[in-house]
Amino acid sequence: MRRDSALSSGPADVGEAAPDGEPSTSTVEGVARRSAVAEEQEFLDLATARRDTLADHLQTELSAEPRDAVERARQRMLRQQHDELRRAREGLVFGRLDGLDGSVRHVGRIGLRNDGEDGEPLLVDWRAPAARPFYTATAVDPQGQARRRHIRTTGSAVVGVDDEPLDGTMTADLVGEGALLAALDQRRTGRMSTAISTLQREQDDIIRAEATGPLIVQGGPGTGKTVVALHRVAYLLFAHRAMADQAVLVLGPSPRFLQYISQVLPALGETAVVAATCDTLLTGIRVARDESRPLAEIKGRALWQPALENYVTSLLPRPRELKLRWQGEFYVITAATVAQALASAVQGRPYHRARAAFAEQLHHLLTEAVVEQREALMDEMEEGFEDILARVDRGMRQDEPHPGRTPTGSDVDGLFSDDEIEDLRHRIAEDTAIARFVEAWWPTLDAESLLSDFLTDRALLTRFAPQLSPQEITAVSSEPTPWASSDIPLLDALADLLGEVDAPQPQGEFVADRARRQRGWVYGHVVIDEAQELSEMQWHMVLRRCPSRSITAVGDIDQAEAAHHHTSWAQAVRAAFGDRWTAAELTICYRTPREVMDLTEPVLKKAGSRNTPPRAVRSAGITPWELTVTPAELADTAAQALRQLRQRWQGGTVGVIAPAERVADLLAVLSDVPVLTATESKGLEWDATLLVDPDRIAAEPRGWNRLYVALTRCTQELGQLILTRQPPPLGRLRPGHPGHPIA
């Protein structure tokens, strides 16, 4: 798929001769290619030297001891800049734009300025507006560019260039096709790499889209959903610096997936990021129990949000007359006054914050009552009531002025000064007896204990979740702790409704550390991968962490395997967003070869899909193969097939996908290779996939969706082991790899 009109060179172009029919470097074209590589090598050396100079300068500044908070804040900023420079060793420069006006701009992972007073850009950051034509310019819309050059590097060496004239002579869909296909053909390492040099226009449009509300991106397998999501994080943090002060939350489907993507954002220079799964968002809470899919579906419904809200509201104290004791005297706060204070304290506050607000008002009310009663007693004393005078004397002795204090206010004329009133209120607020009274009337609640009590009480479930049938209530109330995955959003909702008892001030140098430790942290943006798996309650969990709705969710509704029944994005997000969200779509499959994608259409139809499969743009030249075996032959055949796949894809990766019931047995005979269920493989990719017993996967819940996932994990070769109860005569091989895959 290399364009004849493009100047393209690869690693072989810098040697004596190029394989596979490429021209020798002794030809005129070869000399031109070597010249282009040498030209870009010279620029890479210049940019590298400039980066090193800046890093050394920052290191010198960081060696000084900060004298105050301002200098400490400045050093944090400098340290982030230094870390960004240090990480930009690989792929520092990867592109160049030659303008129609004769200008030349190089594009790279970070921005660098020339050493001089003018400070002109030496290297344009890929996230900057000036770099956008590198991803979006086409021959039809050149955007002022005459040529785009993709520069391929290994370490500090330029190993190839791929030139694209933008003068109307090229009409293909892909930007930098040579560079893109070279990247796609590279061996997989088990960790996702950055793709900033090969982003395509539809991907870049999503990456740079406005962050004004929920953006839901539909994309089939291999369309670069995860790449788009993570590069969008990097772009937003670059374009909206204030967002870094709040951090960005990246939600993935599993810890394995988070490990897979763990190097992407740091490599792009972004550290204000918290990565988690929905199960790990609550610090100190661990999922320790599996549960049935029907029960998970029940607990994932949006009905739990209002149910829990109404339940917590029912736990608020009811207005009544309060009788408080202070300094041996009783003071009455009327029911009407208490009702007014309650209404003012609640006002949308969480349970514990409302209690704190009410306690503060109660301290004021008691202070007023004490002052009024004391001053009234003083008035009566002046009228000659001797018995009252004796009571006042006792009270005054208990409330003795501090030694050495000059008598003022009530000491002289019975009227309290402002300072005395404030001092009295302060002492009331710190009084342990008053605190015990408030605790008894408005008790502190624990979210875990409260949820456990709620979920196991049929009467409470019937009262607050009337949408549930008696059978569903029985199913919910019969499941005790420890917590299952579907309990986490309910626990999060309840913890949010209760609020913190004493909200601690987050500590830590980096914003991500502070955000990670604080459940109620409000993020600047949330990115969700495999978003089709989220239940309605998990969507609420996301919305609580980003009430601004600055959310990017990517996924494939056709790969949904969760227990919920959503088959469209509108159904999936309606409970959280209504119709206030924007849809986008990725239509081109870059990862999965055409030979494999051709197998997916009938699977999608059986899954009930209403979407068009993405269009594959590359061929691996390897037809997917199938081998029929009996259950008794499975272990040996799988081990043998795996050995040969690993030999063929040395330096890359091979993965095994099997039905859940067969994973343990296969792990016992297959070493040093991931053996996963279809669900666990979601979001991952390998050079080759060995798919075991696909018919059994299709028979699992949402099985056709799971099979669609399993089929599309490879970048090169797919082999399937089909199980049969009848022993085949020789082992049936249906269209397959050249030569029998099993020797």
Q: Which residues are annotated as a binding site?
A: 219-226
DSSP H helices, 351-431, are 351-382, 386-398, 410-413, 418-429
**Which distant-in-sequence residues (6+ apart) come within 8 Å of 458 by Cβ?**
473, 474, 477
Token pair 């550390």 is at which residue?
A: 513
Q: The tokens 């607990």 sit on which residue?
A: 299
Q: Is 240 helix (H, G, I), strand (E, B) or coil?
A: coil
User: What are phi and psi for residue 262, nearest 5 degrees?
Assistant: -60, -25
- Point out the annotated binding site for ATP: 219-226
Strands 625-629, 733-734: parallel, antiparallel or unpaired by DSSP?
A: antiparallel
The conformational region for residue 529 under phi > 0 = left, psi -120 to 50 = alpha, else beta, is beta
**Nearest CA to 633 among 578, 675, 693?**
693
Residues 6 or more apart whose CB falls under 8 angstroms from that of 28 comprise none
Determine how many CB atoms are found less than 10 A away from the CB of residue 393.
11
Distance CA 743, CA 728 (A): 17
Listed in sequence order, the residues at least 6 apart from 475 whose beta carbon sits closer than 8 Å to its beta carbon are 294, 295, 298
Residues 349, 400: Cα–Cα separation, whole Å: 39
Judge contact between 559 and 708, C-beta under 8 A: yes
Please tell me the distance from the alpha carbon of residue 191 to that of residue 576, in angstroms, as a whole number: 33
Query: Residue 164 and residue 176: Cα distance in Å, rounded?
Result: 7
Q: Which two tokens stand for residue 511?
A: 């914003």
CA 27 centroid distance within chain: 51
> Using CA atoms, how far apart are residues 615 and 597, in angstroms rounded to an integer?
8
How far does Cα 294 stand from its chain's mean position? 27
- Residue at token pair 């798996």: 533
DSSP 291-354: --HHHHHHHTSTTHHHHHHHHHHHTSPPP--EEEEETTEEEEE-HHHHHHHHHHHHTT--HHHH
Measured at the alpha carbon of residue 209, what is the angle toward residues 91 and 610, in degrees to the nearest 5? 105
Q: What do you get for the CA distance between the two ends of the chain, in Å?
A: 33
Q: What residues are paired with 332 via a beta bridge? A: 323
Strand order in the sheet with 248-251: 273-276, 248-251, 525-528, 551-555, 215-219, 582-586
Mention every residue, 6+ apart, whose C-beta is less than 8 A from residue 424. Answer: 367, 370, 371, 416
Q: In terms of Cα–Cα distance, which of 541, 555, 531 is closest to 487?
A: 541
CB neighbours of 530 closer than 8 A, spacing ≥ 6?
252, 253, 257, 554, 555, 559, 682, 683
- Distance between CA atoms of residues 71 and 64, nearest Å: 10
Cβ neighbors of 449 (< 8 A, separation 6 or more) are none
Peptide bond into 482 cis (omega under 30): yes
514 SS3 class = helix
DSSP assignment of 654-694? EEEE--HHHHHHHHHH--SS-EE-TTTTTT--EEEEEEE-H
Q: 33: helix, coil or strand?
A: helix
